[in-house]
Amino acid sequence: MTNALHTSSITSLPLLARGKVRDNYAVGNDRILMVASDRLSAFDVIMGEPIPGKGELLTQMALYWFGKLAHLCPNHLTGELPESVVTSAEVQQVVGRSMLVKRLKPIPVEAVVRGYLAGSGWKEYQESQAVCGVALPPGLKNASKLPSPIYTPAAKAAVGEHDENISFERTVEMIGPVLAAQIRDVSIALYDAAAKIALAKGMIIADTKFEFGLDGQGELVLMDEVLTPDSSRYWPVEGYDEAFRQGTNPPSYDKQFVRDWLEQVRINGKPWDKTPPAPRLPQDVIERTAAKYREALERLTA
């Protein structure tokens, strides 16, 4: 994990898209090579400096969860080695950080499940005692455990733009009542199962987002990344109680460390306005962020 990969350059395959983290290449008409780079985005802005090893760690964690949750929903893995579809000169960019997956029809809904009140959900609750139209009991605090997990979808945005929180009713308008309900129910089942597994390893999954697509037969398939620190808020159990009592965010295994640094950095005496270009990340921030990603995977798979 010593050589960081900010942007892949696979020339033997057509480039489909570059996301915040992943570079997707077409493999024929029915498969996609997903390469997880070491890029990091915060506040929907891609940082100029990569986090060494991040793409490999994200891929290994996603593969771990795809395996654990396969009984609840089919996933997009083909079972083939990603290295088999690139040239020998390109293998180094692919090995350990890639997935060869089925090409699906993506559903334009981020399936967000929250087991705890945090982030944008906490902000919304303070204003309306609800999150995405889901009413919650009075008296909850930042990082409160919810009575039961709630489904709070978002509409997927283009790269560089913010996903928009929407109501379940809006997803019904977008994709129909049957598919909307299926995604909601499957997402909560996936979260429940994963949260139990993580808790047994001393980790709380406060919230997460899933992405789904439809295959050629119209079957719902879990795709993209799943339950990584980039798509989920992980907290160690040992730091949770004290943070909750103090009303602060528990320490996390995700890129919150970078977000916190960006919130306090000053450019020409002013806070960063969260638009490109991003401030240059100091080496210690890069190293401590990489360590957080490593610790999350090691703890989960120990």
pLDDT given at position 159: 56
Domain residue limits, the chain: 15-103, 106-246
> Is pLDDT above 80 for 2?
no
Q: What is the CATH number of domain 106-246?
A: 3.30.470.20
**Neighbouring residues of 282: CB distance < 8 A, sequence distance ≥ 6:** 261
pLDDT given at position 196: 98
Model confidence pLDDT, tens digit, residues 15-34 = 999 999 999 999 999 999 99
Mean pLDDT, the chain, whole residue set: 94
* Contact yes or no for 57/42 (Cβ under 8 A): no
CATH topology of domain 15-103: Phosphorylase Kinase; domain 1 (3.30.200)
pLDDT given at position 176: 97
Mean pLDDT score, 56-66:
97
Comparing CA positions, the residue from 140, 102, 108 lying closest to residue 121 is 140
**Neighbouring residues of 137: CB distance < 8 A, sequence distance ≥ 6:** 147
Q: How far apart are CA 247 and CA 166, in angstroms?
A: 27
> Is pLDDT above 70 for 140?
yes
Cis peptide before 108 (omega within 30 of 0): no
> Is pLDDT above 70 for 161?
no
Mean pLDDT score, 249-270:
88
**Angle, nearest 10°, between helix axes 177-200 and 168-175?**
130
> Is pLDDT above 60 for 50?
yes
Model confidence pLDDT, tens digit, residues 87-100 = 999 999 999 999 99
Global confidence as pTM: 0.93
Torsion from C-alpha of 114, 286, 164, 153, nearest 10 degrees: -30
The structure tokens listed for 109 are 């809904």
